[in-house]
Structure 1
Amino acid sequence: MSDDRDRDARGRAENARPRDGLGRPLPHGSAGVERVEVRDRTPDEALADAQDYLDRDMPFHAHEVLEEQWKVAPDPERALWQGLAQLAVGLTHQRRGNLRGATSVTTRGADAIARYTVIAPHGIDVGGLLAWARALAARPEDEASVPSLRS
């Protein structure tokens, strides 16, 4: 059996298909949207890049930036970045019409960031994000606004 998967320079499986603005794979040869540049980012850069993607209604791409930060965050902040990434995934599910997924992932993300409300690291508007996430989880069929990561 041959392996027809796309591979990176190290031979690891990598999906090189273009994607739409919500991260759905498109047929090879389609235009697609830009991919998220994988690079080291400071927390401020990650938040700015993720917000830019959210403002352009590209929550899947915001999720990729936030997930990247989660993987390198110090232990005390890992749950924060994981929760932020989950909120972006929840919005992605909502935009794709997967309302059950939107509720589930958004609720997990909100639960993960809730403990950071008092300290609000990096100027993140944890309280505002919690209110936004709880509203989305309660009524995923409603049009969801784009969240603001910072106050």
Structure 2
Amino acid sequence: MVDTGQEREREPGRDRDPEGRARSARPRDGLGRPLAYGAEGVARQPEGVVRTPDGTVREAQRLLDAGMPFHAHEVFEDAWKSGPPDERGLWQGLAQLAVGLTHAARGNTTGGARLLLRGAGRVEEYARGGAETYAIDVRGVVAWARGLAARVTAGDGGDVDAAAEAPRLRVSR
């Protein structure tokens, strides 16, 4: 029997949208981990918000500084889905960096390091073409990602505190 997803939609207790995609109603913590139903969680980022590039960077930085890189990744995801195709690499790379930090903070050092390095490569590659980077400190962000990836891979420094490890997306003025 071919699984069309319709069977999953009808399963009781499964949170699905009208298209059958998983949309868990469970509350989540600041790192996006699901909590028990009824637990106090962190408010989710609304999906599909169209922001200016400056607004995207400001909102993502606010979330990163608050120790919520999973939520920052969703802000970057909105930017790559709503922005011009020639900017997707920048926003996807930044989203990968936020997810890499999320995984590292959750204790998944291997996955975290891989995503940090992949995101750093994408952001760096995007900036080489002289494209608009919206005052993002590309060199600093890339150095941060590679440094954190090396540290978590080596097992130095213990647990990763997402707020303390948050990158500065723009040069401090």
Question: TM-score of the superposition, structure 2-length normalised?
Answer: 0.80
Indicate if the aligned counterparts of 1:36 and 1:64 stay in contact, CA closer than 8 A. Answer: yes
Equivalent residue, structure 2, for 1:17: 26
Select which of 128, 134, 137 maps to 1:122: 134
CA shift, 1:68, in A, is: 1.4
Match of 2:121 in 1: 111
| Conserved 8 A contact 1:53-1:62 | yes
Aligned amino acid, residue 170 of structure 2: R
User: What residue identity is the alignment partner of 1:78?
Assistant: R
Map of 2:146 onto structure 1: 134
**How many residues in Structure 1 have an aligned counterpart in Structure 2?**
150
Match of 1:58 in 2: 68
> How much does 1:145 deviate?
2.0
Q: Which letter maps to 2:67?
A: D
- Max Rg structure: 2
Change (3 A) 1:62 1:46: same
In structure 1, the gaps of 5 or more residues are none
Does residue 30 in structure 1 map to residue 42 in structure 2?
no
Deviation at 1:120, TM superposition (A): 5.4
CA distance in 2 between counterparts of 1:25 and 1:99 reads: 19
For residues 57 and 103 of structure 2, the distance between their equivalents in structure 1, rounded to whole angstroms, comes to 21
The percentage of aligned residue pairs carrying the same residue is: 52
Q: In 2, distance between residues paired with 1:29 and 1:5?
A: 16
Q: Distance in 1 between matches of 2:83 and 2:15?
A: 29
Distance across 2 between alignment mates of 1:24 and 1:145: 18
Measured against aligned partners, the alpha-carbon deviations of 1:18-70 in whole angstroms (never above 9, x if no partner) come to 00010000111111011112222111111111100000011101011111111
1:31-110 matches, within 5 Å, as: 31-38=40-47, 39-110=49-120
| 1:21/1:33 contact within 8 Å kept | yes
Aligned residue identity for 2:147: A
Q: Does 1:148 align with 2:168?
A: yes
Matched letter for residue 37 of structure 2 = H
